[in-house]
A = this chain, B = another copy of it.
Amino acid sequence: MKPTIYDVAREAQVSIATVSKVINDSGRISDKTKQRVIAIMEKMKYQPSVVASALTGKQTFTIGLFIPDLANPFFAEIARYVEDRAQENGFSVVMCSTDHNIEKESKYIELLRQKRVDGFILASGFINDEILKELIEEKFPVVMVAQDFPTRTMDSVSTDDFFGGYVVGKHLLELGHKSIGVLAENWKAGTLELRWSSIERLRGIRQAMAEAQVPFHEEHLVICDSSVESGRASSAKFFEGKSGPTAIFATNDVLAIGVVQAAREHKKKLPDDVSIVGFDNTLLSTIVEPRLTTVAHPMAEMARKAMELLLNRMQDKDRMSSRIILPPELIKRDSTRPL
């Protein structure tokens, strides 16, 4: 059996209180007994039980990370960074893939609360506003990441999507493009309603175009589901007529890859005939041919800030919430070219 605090107390000829004190480096104990106890603990390979200490009101040093799907490289990357930051602070992260499924979300939340995790990081679309509200009202530590959710006041850190779209516009304009198409992602498969990030990205590129006095043609906006296949099918429209756009901004890399495939099917030469830019700077963007010009999220910084916010929130549930918005960066690669 694993040794308990009693075992080391007996070995060290002290009380369990003393041992507890050296474990937590609290209270006052002579350096001598402290050293002795430490030595004994090492000798016995004693590991304090997080379970027991959690029961006495301490933390479990575990957080839940909610994302839609680990198999999506964008979210996997977020998960990776969050895990690193958590680990650094002594926290474990339990993965919760929600598949954008409202019931899975609730179940996970419930389960993890039974396990007394210390907080949640939500990188999922988090559809269940009801539960979110409950969490916030109970002052349960929660931070939203990579997903702005303007309807609730809570801690969050996200990318400046508007600025990202704006920068893409600037880039394309500088390259001389005057006819620009946008392939944007809907909120939910099958609908025509854009998701928040796409709305912002679109607004950004529009702004850039407006500033340059280049008109945006509404028929050059196409909305589709978030998959390569949907992107491919939906963007065919851009290549059919002869008056198609000379540049296309897809609001994420997955869609952009669909555009690349469609362009190729329509015998377009890339990037000569048409420039394409994506968003997210996922692994995929370096794999497609041509390598995608795209917008990179400040992933590392986002994860760091998110963990920071969560830690702060955990120690002071009443602090004011902050909404942090970080600027993304345009990564120029081979899929864009001067007109």
Chain copies in complex: 2
Give the CA-CA distance A96 to B73 in the complex, in Å.
17
Q: Give A161 Cβ to nearest chain B Cβ, in Å.
A: 23
Q: Cβ of A116 < 8 Å from any Cβ of B?
A: yes
Whether A10 is near chain B, meaning CB under 8 Å from some CB there, is no
Contact B62 A94 (CB under 8 A): yes
Q: Which residues of B contact A61 (CB under 8 A)?
A: 115
Q: Is the CB of A95 within 8 A of B97?
A: no
Number of interface residues of A (CB under 8 A): 47
**The residue from B50, B257, B287 contacting A257, defined by CB atoms under 8 A apart:** B287
A83 touches B95 (CB 8 A): yes
Contact yes or no, A97 B80, CB < 8 A: yes
Q: How far is the CB of A85 from chain B (nearest CB, A)?
A: 12
Minimal beta-carbon separation of A68 from chain B (angstroms)? 11
User: Contacts of A237 on B, CB cut-off 8 Å?
Assistant: none
Q: Does chain B have a CB within 8 A of A172?
A: no
Which of A62, A84, A289 counts the most B-chain CB atoms under 10 A from its CB?
A289
Cα(A264)–Cα(B288), bound, Å: 13
Cβ of A120 to closest chain B Cβ, rounded Å = 13
Our pick among B97, B116, B257 for the contact of A83 (Cβ within 8 Å) is B97
Is A128 engaged at the interface, CB distance under 8 Å to the other chain? no
17 residue pairs of the A-B complex, CB under 8 angstroms, read A47-B113, A51-B54, A51-B60, A51-B116, A55-B55, A62-B115, A70-B83, A80-B97, A83-B97, A87-B108, A92-B115, A94-B94, A228-B286, A264-B289, A287-B288, A288-B288, A288-B289
* Extra pairs beyond A49-B55, A49-B116, A288-B289 (4, CB < 8 Å): A70-B77, A71-B77, A71-B80, A83-B97
